[in-house]
A and B are shown apart, each in its own frame.
Chain A
Amino acid sequence: MGNIAMLHATSPSPLTADKDIIRRSQQGDQAAFELLVRKFERRVFGLIYQMVRSPSEVEDIAQEVFTKLYFSLPQFRLEASFEAWLYRITVNQCYDFLRKRKREAQVAQADLTEEEMRFFESFGSITQKPTLDISKRLELRQTAERLLSALPPKDRSLLVLKEVEELSIEELTAIFKASASAIKLRLFRARNHLKSVYEKGRKKNKGRARL
Chain B
Amino acid sequence: MSHQNLKVWLEEYAEDSLPPELSQDLGQHLAICQECQEQLKAIRLTRNIIRASALDEAPFPAPGFARSIFGSIEQQKELYFFWNPLRLAALKALPVMAGLALLLGGFAYVEISALNAQQLPEEPLLESSLELSSQQWGREGAVFSDSISQDQEQVVSTLMEGPPNPPNPGKETEK
Binding site for B on A (CB under 8 A): 2-4, 6, 30, 33-34, 37-38, 41-42, 45-46, 48-50, 55, 58-59, 62-64, 66-67, 70-71, 119-123, 125-127, 132, 137-138, 140-141, 143-145, 147-148, 159-160, 163-164, 168-169, 181, 184, 187-188, 190-192, 194-195, 198
Q: Are B8 and A41 in contact (CB under 8 A)?
A: no
Q: Are B66 and A169 in contact (CB under 8 A)?
A: no
Interface centre among A45, A46, A126, A187 (most CB of B within 10 A): A126
Tally B residues with Cβ within 8 Å of A. Answer: 38
**Closest A residue to B52 using CB positions:** A144
Chain A: minimal CB distance from B162 (Å): 103
Q: Are B69 and A63 in contact (CB under 8 A)?
A: yes
CB < 8 Å A-B pair total: 144
List 8 tightest A-B contacts by C-beta distance, closest first: A49-B58, A144-B52, A144-B53, A37-B66, A163-B50, A71-B80, A46-B58, A41-B61
B residues 35-75 with Cβ under 8 Å of A?
Answer: 39, 41-62, 65-70, 72-73
Chain B: minimal CB distance from A163 (Å): 4
Q: Roughly how many angstroms separate A45 CA and B58 CA in the complex, as a whole number?
A: 7
Interface centre among A48, A163, A198 (most CB of B within 10 A): A163
Interface centre among A3, A55, A64, A67 (most CB of B within 10 A): A67
A195 contact set on B, CB distance < 8 A: 42, 45-46
Neighbour of A66 across the interface among B17, B48, B69, B80, CB < 8 A: B69
With A34-B67, A127-B51 as contacts: A138 and B61 at CB distance below 8 Å? no
Q: Are B48 and A37 in contact (CB under 8 A)?
A: no
Interface centre among B46, B53, B67 (most CB of A within 10 A): B53
B62 contact set on A, CB distance < 8 A: 59
